[in-house]
Chains A and B, each alone.
Chain A
Amino acid sequence: EVQLVESGGGLVQPGGSLRLSCAASGFTFSSYSMNWVRQAPGKGLEWVSYISSSSSTIYYADSVKGRFTISRDNAKNSLYLQMNSLRDEDTAVYYCARDGYYYDSSGYHSKAFDIWGQGTMVTVSS
């Protein structure tokens, strides 16, 4: 079964740090780009960060740039998000999501975020 399982969430004070993990199983993790997406309580979805399959390309949303670091370990089938200088507005459920793709006669095509984990809650509060 294709699965993503997040862990590492919890309660942290403003200015603190937290490291999220996402364990992948049921597919060849090293072949896929990955993302982190968050959802504040009662709000919509916000893309946070992207990492390519080989870690050669990384992107961040402006709201987290300079504070969060995405990384992966393909040997351990794991994705990470190091979150520093946390703020109240970082409070959210954090999801890892796979960047699906397919090939046809015209080449590579993305299939958007085709597999999601169940999420891990991060609460930033004093």
Chain B
Amino acid sequence: EIVLTQSPGTLSLSPGERATLSCRASQSVSSSYLAWYQQKPGQAPRLLIYGASSRATGIPDRFSGSGSGTDFTLTISRLEPEDFAVYYCQQYGSSPPWTFGQGTKLEIK
């Protein structure tokens, strides 16, 4: 089973600032099958990034993903008020189980 470790656990920033979230895998993620999701309180997760760097439909271009192998990053270039939420990474490679990181809470400073 691939274990995903996200850091930091909590990130405190102000609107307009740049956010950098990290996701590290215990072994290489095949074909860069790494996704990022955003979840707000009381809502379902929403897909932001798939294939490590491809934005999902309707996702603003301030969200970008990068990385390969075992190290991946989600960057939000200029934080908007609606971006404060919990973010999860997920690996969805060829074999289950498809695992999620423990989440990074992005909070307003």
Contacts and interface: CB of A to CB of B under 8 A. Distances in A.
The answer to whether A and B belong to the same complex is: yes
B98 to A, nearest CB: 5
Contacts, number: 66
B39 to A, nearest CB: 8
A119 B44 contact: yes
Given A59-B96, A62-B97, A119-B44, A113 B103 contact: no
Interface string B49-88: 0110010110000000000000000000000000000001
Contact of B50 (A47, A59, A111): A111
Nearest to B54: A111
B16 interface: no
B35 interface: yes
A90 B37 CA distance: 23
Nearest to B35: A112
A89 B83 CA distance: 31
A45 B88 contact: yes
B50 A112 contact: yes
Interface residues of B, number: 26
Interface of A: 35, 37, 44-47, 50, 59, 61-62, 95, 100, 109-119
Given A47-B96, A95-B44, A114-B57, 20 more contacts: A44-B100, A45-B39, A45-B45, A45-B88, A47-B98, A47-B100, A61-B97, A95-B45, A100-B50, A109-B31, A109-B51, A110-B33, A112-B33, A112-B47, A113-B37, A113-B90, A114-B56, A116-B44, A116-B46, A118-B43
